[in-house]
Amino acid sequence: MKTAQINGEKIVIKEIEDIKLDGRKGAVVKVLGCGLCGSDIVKFKHKIASDGTVLGHEIVGIIEEINSETEFMKGDKIVSSHHIPCFECTYCRHENYSMCRHFKETNIIPGGFSEKIYLSEEHLKNVAHKVPKNITDEEISFYEPLGCCVRAIKRCDLKQGDKILVIGLGSIGLIMAEGLKAYGYKVFGCDLINERIALASSRGIESFNSSNIEDFNRIIRDKTKNYGVDAIFMTSGADKAIDVAVKTVKQGGKILVFSSTPLNKGYPNNEIYYKELTVLGSYSPSPNDLEDSFNLITSCKVNVKSLTTTYPIECIQEAFNDTISNKIFKAYIQM
Ligand SMILES: [Zn+2]
Ligand SMILES: [Zn+2]
């Protein structure tokens, strides 16, 4: 079967032996497609993943072989994520599921950019769902990334009527904004790339260019009776965006950190203290968050239409390049 593997500076197509169940519980899934996640880009670009790694975890596929106590059957089209918490350790008891050791150890094998994958019984029981006919493969591939956003939104514990600013309108920023909208909050967006600002605005997210922080802050103050926004969702990976966040957040407001930044310079201590700010992080979703994400997509409450550019697996390198150069918004790799 075909896989896309990291090989030094490149992603190459390699044939490996077909995955079989061989008496195991779980399922062999023929992958239809897999979204290219920002974390895949980071693992490739910064050489965090070793040669031979098959990236990809935002998969949609058809069950080809199954041995399971679940109700899934051969021929079902399913979506699944890759990690499952143990629900018992100290992290899980404090709902920090993505810190759980078992969560980090579980995965789809060999990885999403593969013709076939093995999903364990645990995956089928906790994080797999049958895809209804009204949703396209590309749309449901947002199941895991939107799950990450759902977790962030829940962690922030917002109040009805809150005004939110999403900093960074790449694919994750945009679906974060769409998610916040679906939960009923007033959402603003900002970015430095005008095409992204235009795209977000066309989807009903009032968005602005924040390259001049003072000007942008005046706009936000204007729209919030001079208070500033109740919460910031930081999806930008730029260190400078931290200044925008601290400037535009309300006193007593929250800053939800949803990205790494190159300099890792951090949030200013005194601003946090004097303004009683809450700065909190959110990483990866629990099975519950994923179920909410699944329901939001399949009920069409969150708009994930027309966001992807499709590449055949043979052109996966181009998909990585085009994502890195911001030529496209979100790549979906078709097997
Ligand atoms: Zn992802
Ligand atoms: Zn655990």
Q: Which ligand is nearest to the CA of 88?
A: 2
Whole-angstrom distance, CA of residue 294 vs CA of residue 128:
10
Whole-angstrom distance, CA of residue 293 vs CA of residue 145:
9
Phi and psi at residue 178, to the nearest 5°: -60, -40
Whole-angstrom distance, CA of residue 131 vs CA of residue 145:
16
Phi and psi at residue 284, to the nearest 5°: -125, 150
Give the architecture (CATH level 2) of 149-281: 3-Layer(aba) Sandwich (3.40)
Task: Answer left, alpha or beta for residue 201, where phi above 0 means left and psi between -120 and 50 means alpha.
Answer: alpha
What pLDDT score was predicted for residue 46?
Answer: 87
Q: Which ligand is nearest to the CA of 34?
A: 1
Whole-angstrom distance, CA of residue 48 vs CA of residue 27:
29
What average pLDDT does range 95-116 have in this prediction?
96
Q: Which ligand is nearest to the CA of 40?
A: 1
Q: Which ligand is nearest to the CA of 286?
A: 2
Closest CA to 113 of 45, 36, 56, 169: 56
DSSP state at residue 146: H
What average pLDDT does range 160-167 have in this prediction?
97
CA 97–ligand 1 middle distance (angstroms): 16
Q: How many CB atoms lie within 10 A of CB 169?
A: 27
Give residue 120's pLDDT band: very low, low, confident or very high (50, 70, 90): very high
Closest CA to 129 of 59, 182, 190, 197: 59
Q: Are 191 and 221 in contact (CB under 8 A)?
A: no
CA 284–ligand 1 middle distance (angstroms): 9
Q: For the chain, what is the largest distance between any 2 Cα atoms, rounded to a whole number of angstroms?
A: 64
CA 144–ligand 1 middle distance (angstroms): 6
Q: Are 165 and 229 in contact (CB under 8 A)?
A: yes
Q: Encoding tokens for residue 182?
A: 């679906």
The domain 2-142+307-334: what is its CATH number? 3.90.180.10
Let me know if 276 is exposed, middle or buried by CB neighbors in 10 A (0-12, 13-18, 19+).
exposed
CA 108–ligand 2 middle distance (angstroms): 18
Q: How many CB atoms lie within 10 A of CB 199?
A: 19
Q: Could you check whether the bond before residue 110 is cis, i.e. omega within 30 degrees of 0?
A: yes
Q: pLDDT for 168-181, tens place per residue? A: 999 999 999 999 99
Does residue 127 have a pLDDT over 90? yes
Whole-angstrom distance, CA of residue 106 vs CA of residue 92:
15
Give residue 317's pLDDT band: very low, low, confident or very high (50, 70, 90): very high
Closest CA to 278 of 257, 252, 260: 252
Q: Which residues have a beta carbon within 5 Å of ligand 2, which is an ion?
A: 85-86, 89, 92, 100
Total residues found in the chain within this entry: 335
Whole-angstrom distance, CA of residue 66 vs CA of residue 227:
56
Q: pLDDT for 247-298, tens place per residue? A: 999 999 999 999 988 899 889 999 999 999 999 999 999 999 999 999 999 9
Q: Which ligand is nearest to the CA of 105?
A: 2
CA 100–ligand 2 middle distance (angstroms): 4
CATH 3.40.50.720 segments of the chain: 149-281
CA angle 300/305/306 to nearest 5° reads: 175
Give residue 137's pLDDT band: very low, low, confident or very high (50, 70, 90): very high
Q: Which residues have a beta carbon within 5 Å of ligand 1, which is an ion?
A: 37, 145
What pLDDT score was predicted for residue 203?
Answer: 94
Query: How large a percentage of the chain has pLDDT more than 70?
Result: 100
Question: What residues are paired with 233 via a beta bridge?
Answer: 166, 256
Give residue 149's pLDDT band: very low, low, confident or very high (50, 70, 90): very high
Give residue 83's pLDDT band: very low, low, confident or very high (50, 70, 90): very high
CATH 3.90.180.10 segments of the chain: 2-142+307-334
CA 92–ligand 2 middle distance (angstroms): 4
Q: How far is CA 298 from CA 39, 203, 226, 293, in A?
A: 25, 19, 38, 9
CA 88–ligand 2 middle distance (angstroms): 5
DSSP 25-72: SEEEEEEEEEE--HHHHHHHHTT-SPTT-----EEEEEEEEEE-SSS-
Q: Model's pTM, two decimal places?
A: 0.95
What mean pLDDT value characterizes the chain?
Answer: 96
CA 121–ligand 2 middle distance (angstroms): 17
Q: How many CB atoms lie within 10 A of CB 22?
A: 9
CA 41–ligand 2 middle distance (angstroms): 27
Q: Are 148 and 172 in contact (CB under 8 A)?
A: yes
Give residue 158's pLDDT band: very low, low, confident or very high (50, 70, 90): very high
Q: Which ligand is nearest to the CA of 90?
A: 2
